[in-house]
Structure formats: C-alpha cells, structure tokens
Structure 1
C-alpha cells in the first residue's frame, strides 16, 4: 500500500513507500512502471507533469491534442507504455513458494490491476477528446494544417497564366515567382493574388492553371494563343520545379502532394479555343490539359455560353465534343455555360462534370452561378461545384466577405450535398476579392471558419478541400479506361464549316 500513514520506508514527493512494494520493485524483472515509480527506484522523476511549462503546454493547445501531449509527458521511461496486465509478468520461483497475500507476485498483480483501471479511467476521456471541436481560431488552424497534410487542397481555377501574358508577354525566364507581390507591375495590380510565398502560406496542394483565351480571338488565333498559354504554364512549372510539378492524373496529384510540392494541372478555358476541331481537343489533352471549359462569355457554333431565346444548349457536334472528352479522360467544366448547355452536357456525359469557378444562383443571380435545379442534377451526376471568390458573383455587387462565400458553400451543400462542393477561387482573374480572402494565402482561414460551425466535421472539410474533386477525376479516368478496353475509337466528326479571313478552304 502506498500512503503517508506508516512513517517508514523510502519517501517520494511526500509519499511513503511500503517496504514490500520497495522490495518488489528492486527485485521484479518486468518492465512495469509500478504506479509511476519505475523499477529502478528512480523516484526523482514524477509520474505527472508538474512544471509550470508543462501546465502551460497542456492547456494552451486544442483539446483534441491533449491526448498526444499527455502521452508524451506521461513517459518518464521508455518502457512506460508496457504498463499493462498483458506485459506485466512478475512471477518467479521465489514468488511461487510464498504463501503470504503480500508476496511480490501478488503485489505486482494488484498494482498492475490498479494501473489498468487508472489507464482506462484516464484514457477514455483522452480518447474521446479529439471529438471535441477546437475552441479558438488558432486551434482550428492547427487542425486545418494537419488535415491538409493528409489530403491536398485543390483549387479549380487560377488565371495567373493570363497575367503572365499581359504583364510580361510570357517572358518569364528571369521572373522571380517567389516574391511577385513586391515586384512591378504585380504589386500595384488589383488582379494579382498569386506567388509561391503566398501559395505555401495557403497550404495549396494542387492548382488548375487556366489556359485562357479571350472570346474575341474566336475564329482568329484562338488555337495559337491557347497553345502559347499551355506552353507558359509548363515553363513556369519547370522553372520552379522545387515547388511545382506538372501532373496529369489523380495518382500524380497524390504523389506530388506527398513529396511536398504543388501539383499543377492545366485547364483550357473556352470551347472557342478548339477551333471547332476534335483533333485540336486531342492535342490539348496530349499536352497535359485535363479539363475544358465548354464555353466562356460567348457562344460557339456548337454550344451556348449566354442565355438567350435561341439557346438550344449543345448542338450535335457539341455532344460529340462531350463524348470525345469522356473517351480521352478529360474533365468537362461547365462554368460560364448557359443553363441549357449545362443541362445538355450533364445529360450527355457518361462521367461526372464540374463547375470549376461558380457559385449558387439563388444567392446571386449571375450567369456564372448554378441554379438549384442544376445543383440537383450535379448531385445525380456525381459532379462538383467549385465555389469562386469574385465579389460580383458572390454578392452581385463590389463588396463581399468570407461569410458571403460560406453562404454559397452551405447553400450548395444543402441542395446538392457535401460530396458535391469544392473550391475554385478564380484568383488573378478577378479584381475584387472578399474581405478575409484577399489572395491565395487565405484558404486555411476559410476552412478554419467552416470548422467553427458544429455542422462541419473534419471529414466534411477534407471533402470540400480536395476529396470531392479527386473522386470526380478518378471516375473520369475510370470511364476513359473502360472505353479504351471497349476499343472506342477517336471521333472524326466536324462542326459545320466556318469561313473567315483567317481560314483557308483546304479542309
């Protein structure tokens, strides 16, 4: 018995050690910690943290991390984890010959039973504590950092490549991409939100870089400009290979994230970039493009990008484009399309689709945003709506906040479900950002704010951050592989000819 009432034997921090226990500890070969006293009479190490530093450490972190923290502090010796009935075997020949109840073998058994009871009593709340929500923003950010080490945060749309064309004419050989925020003309531009430093702060795991071409280039040099934009994306990644890696598959996204680099993907924005050619579509895919935004802010000969009285959605050739993307394993992006085009594409596609940078139409009636009936179709299709941060599409005016963005996220979750939302900020292609989401460094703050809502679990955060997009991409790849096994051949269809001053008659 350990207590202070006998007045004899060794003393430990004010406690008197029973002589039988003392004798047992001295002779017992097992690795038990014996109520914190060890088996080497090293009584000078207390069994629990008592210093001011330990007390401060234990209470200044989120409750869900108490378990790990205490687990470290409650180990005065390496063998502390062995204190259990299964490993505490203290019998010996001398033990078996003693008939007294207070023999070393019995004492060991009793002590180990007490330890097991205390472990169960103390361990249960420690095991349950991770379920308790973090109480402060600092705690929530700590959780977000941990989660984003497991699963990549994937943004569906960033227009930096177009700024490279506008600001430096794609001449990036001497561009220091780590500190753009301090360089001209980036530092003065309200269109600039991205560089390596801020991407790292934002814990971004994967980015779809947009190979954008303006609608005014349609039927002119749209194909050439798109090729040049794909080229500048690939060079930007190559020149900064310590931070980026160009990827073309889910497997490569996950491996690159595990390696600590940002997985870089290419998305072509605007079906007018195809020049009405499936061959050009295949060429873009072979160069690394993994989604095509079917339209931008203009109609094409085969798809409507604006809602109008004549909007018929996709033409016959437009549906051939969708099926060829299914065959290739290219994600279909419906941001910027008309409602009828979106519905037609969803009904035509065998694979899930995405809206790479859109919002909820019922909260802001912008043509970029998705109506509730289409959100329901997205849920049936298995696709994802990736919420954008452009004030005009968040609140339909020039000012917005993080809470306004969260309203869009929660609305899409309510209508379509948690499995069908993602993030597609649209940085570098917007000139008005919500307060609290000014640039690419702010993603963790958005996720931490969501985590403050009891209806959002850590699993939900991971779904929003990247798991939903990964699921869509995996399904797109699965359809591609099945069609390949079925020996479905490339399409040879063509759109009705469109002649301009920049086209020849040799077709």
Structure 2
C-alpha cells in the first residue's frame, strides 16, 4: 500500500512539473519569431505609425497555449502588454480546439491523432476538456473573459457595436485601453450542434471558420480530403450564424464552401488570415475570382504574416499581398490577419508592426491607405456590421 501511495504521489509531482514546463516548451518550439525585438524603422515610418488612431489584427491563437495574457512574456507573439506597446487597439483571439498530427497544407484526415488533446492535458485543464471539443472551446472563451476582467477598465470584450464604440471613445483619452474579440477556428468545435452554436455566441464568439485543417460536419477544408461544399448542417449553421450575428470566416475553407457561403449568406464575410494566389500559389490562398466575390459581398480580407501564406521573405510578400488586393478590388477590403501564436514562425511579433508601415510607405501607399490597412478598415467593418 505504501509503495502504491508513493507511486501516486510521484505521478502527481511529475504531472505538476509537466504542467509548468511542457506547454511553455511546446509553445516556444511552435511559435518562433525569426527576428527578435526590439524593432527599428525609419523616423518617418515611426512617426506615421505613432499617428495611427486604430490598429487591429484579425487573427491570433494565443488562447491555445495557456499563457497569462495579462503578463508580458518573452515567448509567443501576443499578450496584452505587447498590444499596448504596439498601440494595437483590437485583437481577434481565435480558439483552436483540434489539430491533426502531421498537419500540412495539402491533405489532412479528420481521423488523424489530435495534437490538442495532449496539450490540453499537459496544461492541467479540467478532465471535462480532455475529450470534448465544445468544453475546450468554452474554456478558452472563459479564459479570454477572465483576462479582460483582470484589466479592469483598461480592456473591453467586444461583443456588440456599442462595445466597439466604447473602445473607440475610451482610446481618445487613453490609448492604453484595448479591445479583444473572440472567434473559433474550425466549426468542428460545435460538435454538429446548433445548440452549441448558441452557447458559444453567449460566451462572446463573434466569428467562426467552418473548417480548419480537416473536413468536418460543416463540409470540406482547403487542406482536407473531400473538397466538399457545405453540408446540410453547414447550411443550417450559416443561416443561424447570420441570425445571431456571428461572422463567417472563410480562411481554410474549401473552394466549394467559399462558393456556397457566398451564395447563402445574407451578411458580409471575413477571411481572417490568408494569402493570395497571385503572390503565393497555395491551395490555402485566395484566387482573384474569390477576392472579387468577397469584395462584392462587402467582406474583409486579413493578410497573414507567415511563409506558408505569403512566401519568403515574408515582409515584402505581405506588402505585395496587400497591394494585390488593393489593386484588384480596392483598399477598403484588406486588413492585417497575422495568425500570431498559430503554430507558425513569423518574421516579428506584434511589437514589430511598424515594419509593415515602413514596407507600405516604401511601396508607395498613401497615409490614408496605410491607416485603412492597419486598422481603419477593420473598425469600419465592425461598426457597420456588428449587431
């Protein structure tokens, strides 16, 4: 009996050590930064950056890793202190609930081993989250709400138009006030339940991508096996999302789903983090025809920062991708969609955003266009379309 008790205590000690070391190690390996801070730009670029009223990013997976977003960290790409350091007004925090082993851009099976399960256990989350996608999703939603609450009046959880208006007004006198929105990467998190769709809406979710890296109950992924369009459940969910006021995110969706959503939705769509095929010909990127249809829908396109979306070297290709969308459909449809903390290597963390401004200046963008890309387009989109 004593040996058994000792064995249990030893297992518990190992587990405690694991939850305080394993997630941090995994995150540091999965979210590297190619160029470490601090970042320097020309005085002209820094001056323009400092004049920006509203900077926004449409995609960040920081909630996945269990980091305290109230604390500045040296690992990862985004936290609240670094948002303030970069004068970022609004970040869309997205929930990842499942990720296939061997994840790649070409083909992934929905039956592949799930990478998020061991991470969930290693983070010391409740056993109720270990094998439930909806519980993991609601847990990350609660985490964001707690992080925002810990900031007092210095952070606002953006769920409706009046919240955004409050953020805009607060930042006129105090640019330390930041906003956080909540999205879901992959509709598998709903476990094929419209009731769960209502639950995540109540938890603050305002954006959902139908598919992530594998096919699910919504239909096909751009990186899946069947290439299918929306299923009957997917069509019902899209209609319900329109009714509730949840934006549909077409990043990672199969071309057939992109087409089906644009034919079915009554609301403007989002592509929270993507590249364009004219810059990098990848199946995860948007064609010119898709860009034109999204613009005609009144949607918005966030350009990602990592090599598998824009190619290498990243910075000039980010600028080229932004320029391509501008030249094709207009500056009002393009925004930043970094995919920070999304198991990707990025050229700089969120404090390096002045490098984008410098790149846009060198490419001949006007100050008004730079303001639009860096956040005004996102602000205007949500002011127009949030309930």
State the TM-score bracket (shorter-chain normalisation).
Answer: 0.7 to 0.9
Asked if the contact 2:94–2:184 (Cα under 8 Å) also holds between the matched residues in 1, the reply is yes
SS of the aligned residue for 2:181 comes to strand
Q: Given the superposition, is the C-alpha separation of residues 344 and 471 from structure 1 closer, same or farther in structure 2, using an over 3 Å criterion?
A: farther
Query: What's the CA shift for 1:421?
Result: 0.4
The residue that corresponds to 2:360 in the other structure is 450
Which residue in 2 is equivalent to 1:319?
235
Q: 1:296 aligns to what? A: 212
Deviation at 1:469, TM superposition (A): 2.3
Q: Tell me if 1:239 matches 2:150.
A: yes
Equivalent runs, 1:25-36 vs 2, <5 Å? none
After superposition, the C-alpha distances for 1:8-30 in whole angstroms (9 at most, x for unaligned) are xxxxxxxxxxxxxxxxxxxxxxx
- Quote the offset at 1:307 in angstroms: 5.8
Which of 238, 257, 282 lines up with 2:198 in the alignment?
282
Structure 1 Cα separation of the partners of residues 372 and 72 of structure 2: 31
Partner residue of 2:331 out of 415, 418, 423: 418
Q: Counterpart of 2:252?
A: 336
Partner of 2:318: 405
Q: Deviations over 1:393-427 (max 9, x none)?
A: 211xxx42311210111112222321110101011
Aligned pair partner of 2:87 in 188, 203, 212: 203
Match of 2:290 in 1: 374
Contact 1:158 1:210 survives alignment (8 Å): yes
Query: Partner of 2:59 in structure 1?
Result: 157
Shift of 1:255: 2.2
1:179 corresponds in structure 2 to 72
CA distance in 2 between counterparts of 1:233 and 1:197 reads 15
CA distance in 2, matches of 1:231, 1:278: 20
Q: Tell me, yes or no, if the aligned pair for 2:220 and 2:226 is still in contact at 8 Å.
A: no
Q: Distance in 2 between matches of 1:408 and 1:273?
A: 30
1:77 aligned partner: none
TM-score (norm 2): 0.76
Q: Over alpha carbons, which structure has the higher Rg?
A: 1
Counterpart residue number, 1:92: none
For residues 159-195 of structure 1, what are the alpha-carbon distances to aligned partners after superposition, in whole Å with 9 as ceiling and x for unaligned? 111111xxx6xxx5xx8x43311xxxx3xxxxx1123
Write the distance in 1 (CA, Å) between the matches of 2:226 and 2:164: 41
Q: 2-side partners of 1:220 and 1:416: how far apart? A: 43
Residue 302 of structure 2: SS of its match in structure 1?
strand
What is the match of residue 373 of structure 2? 464
Which residue does the alignment assign to 2:266? 350
Q: In the alignment, what sits opposite 1:255?
A: 166
How far the C-alpha of 1:475 sits from its partner, in A, is: 4.1
Q: Relative to structure 1, is the Cα distance of residues 291 and 203 closer, same or farther in structure 2, using a 3 angstrom cutoff?
A: same
Whole-Å separation in 2 of the counterparts to 1:317 and 1:431: 31
Q: Following the alignment from structure 2 to structure 1, what is the Cα–Cα distance between the partners of residues 81 and 228?
A: 45
Aligned length: 315
Equivalent position of 1:89 in the other structure: none
Q: Distance in 1 between matches of 2:161 and 2:50?
A: 22
C-alpha distance in 2 between matches for 1:160 and 1:234: 14
Q: CA deviation at 1:309?
A: 7.7
Structure 2 residue corresponding to 1:213, chosen from 73, 90, 97: 97
Query: What value does the CA root-mean-square deviation take over the aligned residues?
Result: 2.3
Select which of 46, 50, 55 maps to 1:145: 50
How far apart in 1 are the matches of 2:205 and 2:156?
Answer: 14
Q: Which runs of 5 or more residues in structure 1 are unaligned?
A: 1-135, 187-191, 481-507
